[in-house]
Structure 1
Amino acid sequence: MDRTALPENGVLIGRARVPGFAHPRAVSVRDGRLVDITATGAATVRDIAEGEAPVAHVRNAAGTDLGDVNDILANSWAEKCDNNRASLLSPIDLQAIKASGVTFVVSLLERVIEEQARGDKARADALRTEILGLIGTDLSELVPGSETAMQVKAALIERGVWSQYLEVGIGPDAEIFTKGQPMSSVGFGADVGLHPVSSWNNPEPEVALLITSAGNIIGATLGNDVNLRDVEGRSALLLGKAKDNNASGSLGPFIRLFDETFTLETISAAEIALNVSGEDGFELVGNSSMSQISRTPESLVAATIGRHHQYPDGLVLYLGTMFAPVQDRGGEGKGFTHKINDVVSISTPTLGTLSNRVRLSTECPPWTYGASHLMRDLSRADLL
């Protein structure tokens, strides 16, 4: 997989570390070159997103050429980054980092069927037939919170297979949680972190939406919502420990803003590819089809921001994934889990490729640059 792949076109915005500057720079891509478009009043991605015309600003802002974008992408890999050259960061800054879970009913119910059948294909077929009889249609067409969904819920409770995950999978309320704090996400080429207590974990390849403080969806990027399956599996109350650790959420390589050629409908039809390559020669390939999502992106955004909850600096929202890796690694029946130095690549043609190397969260660079540091640095540079 090409780890430096970018979409062929589109209005792209991101952030970069640039020698000679204390603070991250707002950047875009023009004709294969990375361009610094940092300016007074538009020095952060947050400020550009909250402006009246983000697309026009990114297209027309005066800029400084930083070099060939593919060279800078190559220099963004943590293990070989030259700090005397520009390198990419996560494409967001002051936005809240939120995520939604269990958003693909078809994969959720299939996992429940497999769990209940315990490897018995006949039992699996029987349970699937029963559920399909209740729904009367394809699993992917089941609308969470609908009357049909509630019938399925009642039938599953009667069979003793109900769980909290099924509640948010087909019930009326979406699962929305805080993935990390503003400024904590990592970008293309960075190391992503696993908490050392975990021995069963996986990547979660997702699309993430850029949303303004007014609730407008204005762009999208790729994300890896790194997940500790053993920690969350012990108790849903450990979701914070399973999801929010040093370097546990990556985004990038750039945000692509919605314009006349790229819309929310484009995202709804996207196929998200996943590749995991290990030093042991192991390779995992999979994909997640956004057309199978059970809760629309608009409904997930409405569940996150509104009169009930505000985000003055906007937010990024991971939309969830239908991909749950089960391919055995290290022995039959052991399933998938990461090994240190795995390379995870998530891609779709309209957004490019987000790649990261897997390490322990305790061995990834510590998160030390927060909102207060950014504000002080921008003030010193007269950019506020």
Structure 2
Amino acid sequence: MTPIFDPADALGTEWREGRWLGRIDRGDGPSPVLVVGGIVHDMSRVAPTVAELVADGLLDHTAGEPIGDLAKLGLSPDGTPRLLSPIDFQCVKAAGVTFAVSALERVIEELARGDPGAATAVRERLETRVGGGLAAVVPGTEEAAALKVALIEEGLWSQYLEVAIGPDAEVFTKAASLSTVGWGSAVGVRSDSTWNNPEPEVVLLVDPTGRTVGATLGNDVNLRDFEGRSALLLGKAKDNNASCSLGAFVRLFDDSFTMDDVRSASVALRIEGEDGYVLDGASAMDQISRDPEELVRQTMSEHQYPDGFVLFLGTLFAPTKDRDEPGRGFTHKVGDTVSIASPRLGRLLNPVTTSKAAPEWTFGVTALVRNLAARGLLSKRT
């Protein structure tokens, strides 16, 4: 069943107070929009893409065409007007192992060789040695280096701990431009994966100069069996059809919503299965081991992003509640519904299917450019 879009749910109770950036298709193709005071403004005649709006700082809604109240447009993920993922040409980056609990889970995946049945024993051994102490370690410090030596001596060192407490953050490319799915669309897991989970995260929108302009919610769908067998399978574990979703709109920074609100955000997760299984989890951004601005800095330290990028900040959530067999933890089933919510960013809702069964991604860069040209939106601005 297609979920019904309600801005008070998808964007939260502050949806009329916040300033929001996204994309919709009114029937002729994708258009960037700004939502201010609850009114949607089509910005396609100002700049044809979200990337250009952000890069050139064209975020004044009064220059666009007001097309109605967001609550009355009748947006849906598969109808007209259609709600799309809020980004287009931006590169999709992700920071991994940024929370102590998720770091331990990545180590467990590796030491268990991707076998969920072996994870319990590994988890007990690792938690006995490290426990919550990892959360207090500042990455790149002498204390972190001393812990590394101790864990190596006990045979518990992992490449995941290297990026958790070492000087360099893990930053990888999660998905291709234009391949992300939006609110209400199905997210996909590989059909040959037997151990996987959602990753509820706050996602930053960053312009080409490295300035963060806003934030949204995201699901960095992860295959624990693939990545656990080998970190060299990260590409297969992370980048698959429909394996990356983003919130309905990006909330733009202003006087009432800033990076400090990201730093203090709480993110709630709920998974509901057709089998009656329910799992609740939470992620608190104040427990992140690297500041969001440091993660942005490391992403751009020796790379340029002329169309800007979005950056997933990682998650504290690590699902261990058994679903079927004792000791085997959680894995998705087709038909699950994933809800990711944060009070000031709203709620991202996605049903779960396989990457093979999800709608194929066919609308890429070439298709978008051709569409914009046919609509007369590529002429040079004056």
TM normalised by structure 2 equals 0.88
Partner of 2:292: 297
Distance 1:170 1:46, change over 3 A: same
Contact kept in structure 1, 2:107 and 2:158, CA below 8 Å: no
User: How do 1:135-284 residues align onto structure 2 when only pairs under 5 Å count?
Assistant: 139-284=134-279
CA distance in 1, matches of 2:189, 2:72: 28
Matched, 1:339 2:333: yes
Per-residue CA shift, 1:341-377, capped at 9, x if unaligned?
A: 1110101011111111100111111111111211122
Residue 115 of structure 2 corresponds to which residue in structure 1?
none
- State the match for 1:48 in structure 2: 53
Contact 2:107 2:160 in 1 (8 A): no
Give the deviation of 1:329 after TM superposition: 0.4
Structure 1 unmatched ranges of 5 or more? 133-138
CA distance in 2 between counterparts of 1:278 and 1:122 reads 28
The alpha-carbon distance between structure 1 residues 342 and 149, as it changes in their structure 2 partners (threshold 3 A), is: same
Paired residue for 1:136? none
2:44 maps to 38
Structure 1 residue 322, shift from structure 2 partner: 1.0
Give percent identity, aligned residues only.
51
Change (3 A) 1:113 1:278: closer
Local SS of the residue matching 2:236: helix
Cα distance change of structure 1 residues 126 and 329 upon mapping to structure 2, 3 Å threshold: closer
Distance 1:310 1:337 in 2: 37
1:16-35 equivalences under 5 Å are 16-19=24-27, 21=28, 23-35=29-41
Distance 1:118 1:184, change over 3 A: closer
The counterpart of 1:320, out of the listed 314, 325, 331, is 314
Q: State the Cα distance separating 1:29 from its structure 2 match.
A: 2.5
Report the Cα distance in structure 1 between the residues aligned to 2:208 and 2:128, rounded to whole angstroms: 48
Structure 1 CA distance for aligned equivalents of residues 361 and 261 of structure 2 = 34
Deviation of the 1:38 alpha carbon: 2.0
Cα distance in 1 for residues equivalent to 2:258 and 2:304:
24
* Structure 1 counterpart of 2:129, from 103, 127, 130: 127
Q: 1:2 to 1:123 in 2, by over 3 A?
A: farther
Q: Is the 8 A contact 1:200 1:338 kept in 2?
A: yes
Equivalences for residues 1-12 of structure 1 within 5 A: 4=6, 5=9, 6-7=11-12, 8=14, 9-12=17-20
SS at the partner of 1:188? coil
- CA distance in 1: counterparts of 2:84 and 2:336, whole angstroms: 20
Could you say if the C-alpha distance between residues 335 and 53 of structure 1 is closer, same or farther in structure 2, counting changes exceeding 3 Å? Answer: same
**Contact residue 3 and residue 345 of structure 1 kept, 8 A:** no
Q: Distance in 2 between matches of 1:122 and 1:337?
A: 20
Q: CA deviation at 1:127?
A: 2.2
Could you say what secondary structure the match of 2:53 adopts? helix
Rounded to whole Å, the distance in 1 between the matches of 2:286 and 2:5 is: 25
CA distance in 1, matches of 2:48, 2:36: 18
Superimposed CA distance per residue, residues 52-104 of structure 1 (whole angstroms, 9 cap, x where no aligned partner) = 353xx13x23323255437635x22xxxx3x3x21211000000011110001
Contact 1:247-1:361 within 8 A present in 2 as well: yes
User: 1:371 is matched with which residue?
Assistant: 365
Deviation at 1:128, TM superposition (A): 4.0
2:108 and 2:122 in contact (8 A); partners too = no
**Residues 111 and 228 (structure 1), Cα distance of their counterparts in 2 relative to 1, 3 Å cut:** closer
Q: Tell me the SS of whatever aligns to 1:39.
A: coil
Partner of 2:116: none
Superposed structure 1 runs of 4+ greater than 6 Å apart: 113-117, 120-125
Give the conservation status (yes or no) of the 8 Å contact 1:341–1:359.
yes
For residues 100 and 165 of structure 1, what CA distance do their matches in structure 2 show? 12
Following superposition, the deviation at residue 382 of structure 1 comes to 1.9
Match of 1:72 among 69, 74, 89: 74
Return the alpha-carbon distance in structure 2 between the equivalents of residues 16 and 162 of structure 1: 47
1:245 Cα deviation after fit:
0.4
Q: Which runs of 5+ in 2 are unaligned?
A: 113-118
Answer whether contact 1:106 1:292 (CA < 8 A) is retained.
no
Aligned residue pairs: how many?
A: 363
- Mapped to 1, the partners of 2:81 and 2:274 lie a distance apart of 28
Measure, in 2, the Cα distance between the counterparts of 1:86 and 1:160. Answer: 56
CA contact 1:3–1:354 (8 Å) conserved in 2: no
Give the 3 Å change call, closer, same or farther, for CA 382–357 of structure 1 in structure 2. same
Cα 1:360–1:183 shift into 2, 3 Å: same
Q: Secondary structure at the match of 1:99?
A: strand
